[in-house]
């Protein structure tokens, strides 16, 4: 079995020890860093399948690590935030985290989140590697181009850096151009979980996509349909 390699960046050594044992039993390899500075160095120099990143840490906190990694860093990141602190969750997503989980958490919930992220990546990579006509691997809608062969997004030939989660959301919206896609479907298909009340994860990811598209595209591509979901506009006149 090809074990997935996870980097845990968290100053709670007791929690780290428990997660190394538990995730090891689930066939994961877990490397640990106990402060943001060493975690950033590890994340930058070693290839991991997933990063578990705590917010509150010495030297560099989780937000500073996210900023330093930047949107060019392709490894998915699951933020570990304080229970009930919605501001931390939203800030983490805005800085490029793929998802978040509030502490204290149940180990099975953590495993479910990890598996959902890795499953999404595996499906995306499988689709990209399948032998398909070139037209099926490149999607262009309203001047936005998705190139699945390179996993790149561009508009007017300007490259746009998206996280893996943002890329997947944009793909779903563009594939259903002109049709409203509700947040529940986006959450289940991209995050691998049902949308819970007051969960703003999808809203923040879509907001990030809009913010990144606008400088290159010069006009809005995604319309919010209040109480329904999101609509990718099929033409500049929409």
CB atoms within 10 A of CB 209: 24
pLDDT tens digit sequence for 143-180: 999 998 888 999 999 999 998 899 999 999 999 999 99
- Of the candidates 102, 128, 124, 127, the one whose C-alpha atom is nearest the C-alpha of residue 113 is 102
All structural domains of the chain, each given as residue ranges with its CATH number in brackets, are 4-125 (3.40.50.2300), 131-232 (1.10.10.10)
Give exposure, 217-231, as e/b (b: 16+ Cβ within 10 Å).
beeebbeeeeeebbb
Q: What is the CA radius of gyration of the chain?
A: 18
Q: In the chain, which residue ranges form alpha helices assigned H by DSSP?
A: 13-25, 36-45, 62-69, 86-94, 107-129, 134-137, 164-175, 183-186, 201-217
Question: What's the mean pLDDT when you consider all of the chain?
Answer: 89
pLDDT tens digit sequence for 113-154: 999 899 888 766 665 555 455 556 889 999 999 998 888 999
Average pLDDT over residues 95-121: 91
CB atoms within 10 A of CB 134: 7
């Amino acid at each position: 079995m090809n074990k997935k390699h996870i980097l845990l960046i968290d100053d709670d050594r007791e929690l780290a020890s428990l997660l190394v044992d538990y995730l090891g039993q689930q066939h994961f390899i877990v490397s640990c860093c106990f402060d943001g500075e060493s975690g950033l160095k590890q994340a930058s120099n070693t290839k991991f399948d997933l990063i578990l990143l705590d917010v509150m840490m010495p030297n560099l906190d989780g937000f500073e690590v996210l900023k330093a990694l930047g949107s060019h860093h392709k490894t998915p990141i699951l933020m570990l935030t304080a229970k009930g602190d919605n501001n931390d969750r939203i800030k983490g997503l805005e800085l490029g985290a793929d998802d978040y989980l509030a502490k204290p958490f149940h180990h099975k919930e953590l495993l479910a989140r990890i598996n959902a992220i890795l499953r999404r990546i595996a499906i995306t990579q499988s689709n990209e590697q399948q032998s398909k006509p070139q037209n099926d691997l490149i999607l262009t809608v309203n001047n936005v181009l998705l190139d699945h062969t390179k996993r790149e997004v561009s508009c007017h030939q300007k490259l746009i850096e998206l996280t893996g989660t943002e890329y997947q959301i944009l793909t779903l919206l563009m594939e259903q151009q002109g049709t409203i896609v509700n947040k529940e479907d986006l959450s289940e298909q991209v995050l691998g979980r049902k949308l819970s009340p007051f969960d703003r994860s999808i809203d923040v990811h879509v907001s990030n996509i809009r913010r990144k598209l606008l400088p290159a595209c010069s006009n809005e591509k995604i319309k919010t349909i209040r109480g329904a979901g999101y609509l990718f506009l099929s033409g500049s006149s929409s």
